[in-house]
Structure 1
Amino acid sequence: MVAISGVAMGVDPRSIGGGLLLAPLLFYFIYVEDRRGGTAEDEINQPHRTRLVRRYQTELLATELLALLGYELVVCLLVFQTATANVSDLLFAQVPLVVLGSYGWLKRYPTLDSIGVGFTWAFVAVFSVVAATHQQYSLEGVAVFFGWFLITAAGVESRNIQDITGDTRANKTTLAGYLGPRTASLLVRLLKAGGVVVFWVVSGTFVAGLVLCYLLALSVFRRLTRLHRRNASSETGQHSTHG
């Protein structure tokens, strides 16, 4: 996401340097922290993963804290060593953490869940480029942010579609559950298409093609994840039967 954002904003991805580390470090911290705070719907939708998280709580906590420390260190280096960022960027860098702090509240409402995740991912994709280069915040950056926002929000609802049954059993309402699988799937396609169109309008065919490749890669990994989930569930069922 960061490299594509750089290209879309007219920046050579190689010049982003340490900024490329910001997104993976922060996303890892957010992802693990969210998984460690397991919910009732997680136990239904992801029983195998939930058991693993409970088993390795301490190890996961240690790695997520290291990721957060790495994120803050990279931001400080960009501010005080490379001087591509300024002190105000230290405050901007904390915005995703503020969203994370309110995520438990956001997840109570069908649309705010997707909006919160979409905002955070899109913000980090643009912030990483600006903080690591001499690129300034601009309307082009806002457009890139909006493109990623649409795509990421769609990704959240795409996952929610797969979890409708479990979410319903856990009395959790998501936008996908409210709309139903067919309408939600249509919405996901429209949002992703809208995101690609934004990149095409702002940066041209090449960047839009990169975004499509990114979405294709996500689709492949999601299919592999679903296959792993089915295999894990099957093995769990066999152990329960023989046990």
Structure 2
Amino acid sequence: MGGGKYSIRDLFDLFVSCSLYLNLNSVLILIISAVYLGGGYFAADTGIVTAIAVMTFIYVVDRLNVTEEDKINNPGRSALVRKYRTELFGLSVVAFSLFELSLFVTVFSPDLSGAGALALAHVPLAVLALYDEIKTVPLPLDSLAVAFTWGYMLVFIYVFISPLSVGILEGAGLFCGWFLIVFAGLEARNAKDIEGDREAGKVTLASRFGCDQTKRIEIALKSVGVLVLVALSGSPVVLALLICHIGLLRLFGSLETDFREEGSGEPLDSGRISGD
């Protein structure tokens, strides 16, 4: 795009700084999960739209809620969000509409089971509604809540939307594996936010144990998560795709770190810890 308000650089920075790349990676996560469950790569079916839509809505709404620690930790992103608030709000409306539409054509039915499935589909939005309160608890509950949301969303999609049959052990393994991987990545990302989190009184593993110990915890938890998914699936393809997933997140995480350094004008040593 040319002059005026919009620029390609701004749009790229929004994509990176608002972590919208996670929505693209959600497709890869669904593919890995499908292979883990013994299905085809796109066995999630319409659930792909459901996942992208709900995660876009959640992350955009969270970014629109600029907190005091956001202004300290990520002033560049906070400025971009203020500049494009109207457009981001519009994106959240589109994402929410797509999410609801995907549920209408997949799980909705005018009976008790359909109403129950529809209610269960909105658990991630309930977590979002409580997220500000969750962040005030003197424990890393916000990372636990986000990791729960990712794991829950995957299980919901493959139980209620995908044609695959999911057993209890398979479902539990799917949830636990991704819960550990996502939680580890989130807490590693918090190593970039130590100053703002401490000032805001927010408890994270990084603010309590430091960057080096958090890095070791990240490696341990991600390794266990990967082991769960690979061991229960017995598939080398799952391992290969998980390596690709983690590698892509490291790439985007480094781009996000570069953006934050430019926005703050200071190098972020702790930013060398990877993203989700």
Paired position in structure 2 for 1:214: 245
Aligned CA RMSD, in angstroms, stands at: 1.9
**Aligned ranges for residues 90-109 of structure 1 at < 5 Å?**
90-109=118-137
**Aligned ranges for residues 175-194 of structure 1 at < 5 Å?**
175-194=205-224
**Identical aligned residues as a percent:** 39
SS, match of residue 163 in structure 2: coil
Unpaired segments ≥5 residues, structure 2: 1-28, 267-276
- Give the aligned residue type for 2:158: V
Residues 1:132 and 2:161 are matched in the alignment? yes
Deviations along 1:49-96, one digit per CA (max 9) or x if unpaired, are 101112222221121011011001101111259xxx954321211110
- Which 4+ residue blocks in structure 1 deviate beyond 4 angstroms? none
Unpaired segments ≥5 residues, structure 1: 236-243
Asked if structure 1 preserves the Cα contact closer than 8 Å seen for 2:74 and 2:264, the reply is: no
- Give the aligned residue type for 2:96: L
Asked if structure 2 preserves the Cα contact closer than 8 Å seen for 1:19 and 1:131, the reply is: no
Deviations along 1:127-171, one digit per CA (max 9) or x if unpaired, are 222232233442201101100000011111011011112222333
* Distance in 2 of aligned mates of 1:80 and 1:31: 25
- Give the aligned residue type for 2:179: F
* Distance in 1 of aligned mates of 2:65 and 2:186: 18
1:29 Cα deviation from its structure 2 partner: 0.6
SS, match of residue 78 in structure 1: coil
Paired position in structure 1 for 2:261: 230
Paired position in structure 2 for 1:111: 140
- Give the aligned residue type for 2:164: Q
Paired position in structure 2 for 1:67: 95
Report which of the two has the higher share of helix. 1
Length-normalised TM-score, structure 2 = 0.79
Length-normalised TM-score, structure 1 = 0.89
SS, match of residue 42 in structure 2: helix
Paired position in structure 1 for 2:270: none
**Aligned ranges for residues 135-174 of structure 1 at < 5 Å?**
135-138=164-167, 139-174=169-204
